Amino acid sequence: MNSKDIQSVYRDSKRNRRPTSCDQCRIRKAKCNRELPCENCIKRGEKATCKYASNAIRNSAGKRRNSNVGERLRRVEKLVSELVGSEENAQATESQGGVVHESIQEERFVPRNSNTVEIEQPTPRKARGHIEDSHWLSILDDIKEVREQLAQSDIMTSPEDNADINDEAQEEEIDLVLGATQPLPTLQEIVNSLPPRPMCDMLLSQYFTSPVVLPIIHTTKFQNEYEKFWQDPSKAPPLWVGLLFSILACVAAVAQAMTPTAAETNNKPLSLPAKPLRRKTVQCLIMGNYKDANSYALETLVMYLLGTYIDKPDSSFDGWFLMGTIIRLAMRMGYHRDPTTLKSDSKITPFEGEMRLRRWHVILQLDTLMSFQMGMPSVIPPEFCDTEPPRNLKDEDIWPTMSTLPPSRPSSDYTPVLYTIAKAGVMNMFRKVLVHTHSSSSSTSPPSYPITIELDAKLRETYASIPEPLKWRPINQSFTVSSGLIINRST
């Protein structure tokens, strides 16, 4: 199924709720006053295009009429209550012995605002017997019934009336596996929702210069593609546009997680919401048929996972579920096999083979840690994987058109990929320890002591082989190194 088929399916589906805004305001996610033409269309000079769906709800005028009627009824009720009170006072004065009769209490409505009313509970009162319809008390009861009906009408319509307020922020995120429940926008509409280029430049700079960056995107290659994108955005693949949105969403999520003081201190002039950016990422993934293992699909999914985890760190189950999708897509693309063992007709260049190793080992480590956090075994079966760690190379050491890879830099040379290389050995031992201590046999009998001793020796050997730049040092001995290196040493 191609992107056109997917969009046609979504266009045939119905909205779960009836729309309240005009078509133009719904497209622009703007607040609509539901007039014809509406205020926004008048300002944009698009009176002729202001149209509403056939099942649209436009009852704001009716609600205002209800509010006006309710206000008038309150004034009438007050007047009737004063008349009833004056009549009762006159009767009490005329009674023998000067005994004041108990005033007749009725259920009174005490208005709090235009939409809610509170009923005072009636106090014990003297039975008033039969009264005619023309009596003041009967009129007061009729007013009470009308006001109850108006209040109930307001309560029933208020959720729909407020449905279009801040619609983009209130809408649920699109399910990446099940797909969109609404028609997908066009790629041009998605591109038009990007921030201005100066802000995009600043956000991308903050990501690629941040202390900790996953080595799954080649910086030089991405920058060249980024320049071509702004020259002609219409030629960009949907999945590459999704990758761009996913990076912006990560930076926006980090900015939202920072306190205002920290943001001001670090000169982060960002108030970009992360959720709409993630929505655009998912729309691009669906539009680009990410399940067909197309280019940029895996990088975009990993970045989307990272942004979701930063924005919602407590949603570990959602992240773990998405991780399963990423793993299956990566294995379908052959990432679990070393590039040197693949068939020669696979057309994997040395550059792409090296980038595949980087991405796979990041995915492998994320799977181990997230599965351990969920108390579940790793999703990736190690017996089907034969990949070697990537080479210790900087991004400027490799490029897409190269025919052969340069030799790996020494482990004493700290590069952005050195942490992933060192972590590969540690996580390999971590998985073996988990299998030894959490296997089905260990639940019925203690783990084998000789195997425990053997794993302990291998674990110590692995930690001893950690490259010198990444070995842990106290903070008071790390004044001259970057914050990213300190974080890598600690994790």
Q: Are 408 and 349 in contact (CB under 8 A)?
A: no
Residues 83/137, Cβ–Cβ less than 8 Å: no
Residues 448 and 352 placed together within one structural domain of the fold: yes
Q: Looking at residue 36, which CATH number applies to its domain? A: 4.10.240
Would you tell me how many other CB atoms lie within 10 Å of the CB of residue 451? 11
pLDDT at residue 338 in the model? 93
Same domain, 10 and 51: yes
* CA atoms within 13 A of residue 213's CA, in its CB half-sphere: 20
Same domain, 53 and 85: no
Per-residue pLDDT at 261: 47
State phi, psi for 181 to the nearest 5 degrees.
-95, -5
Q: Where is the domain boundary, 161, 195, 224?
A: 161
Same structural domain, 354 and 491:
yes
Q: Which residues of the chain have pLDDT under 70?
A: 1-18, 54-72, 82-138, 140, 142, 145-173, 175-181, 259-271, 313-315, 343-346, 441-444
Whether residues 396 and 476 fall in one domain: yes
109 - beta bridge partners?
Answer: 119
CA 277 to CA 28: how far, in whole Å? 15
Domain membership of residue 414 as a residue range: 334-491
The answer to whether residues 385 and 463 belong to one domain is yes
Do 58 and 52 contact (CB within 8 A), yes or no? yes
Q: Which of 161, 183, 213 is the endpoint of a domain?
A: 161
Same domain? For 338 and 440 the reply is: yes
The number of folded domains in the chain is: 3
Q: Are residues 17 and 117 in the same domain?
A: no
- DSSP letter for each residue of 416-485: TTHHHHHHHHHHHHHHHHHHHHHSTGGGTSPPPHHHHHHHHHHHHHHHHTS-GGGS---GGG-TTS-HHH
Question: Is there a domain that residue 329 lies in?
Answer: no
Q: Are residues 71 and 114 in the same domain?
A: yes
10 with 85, same domain: the answer is: no
Contacting residues for 271 by C-beta, under 8 A, at least 6 apart: 255
pLDDT given at position 152:
53
Say yes or no: 40 and 78 in one domain: no
Verify that 378 and 476 share a domain, yes or no.
yes
Residue 7 lies in a domain: yes
DSSP of 191-202, one letter per residue? HHTSPPHHHHHH
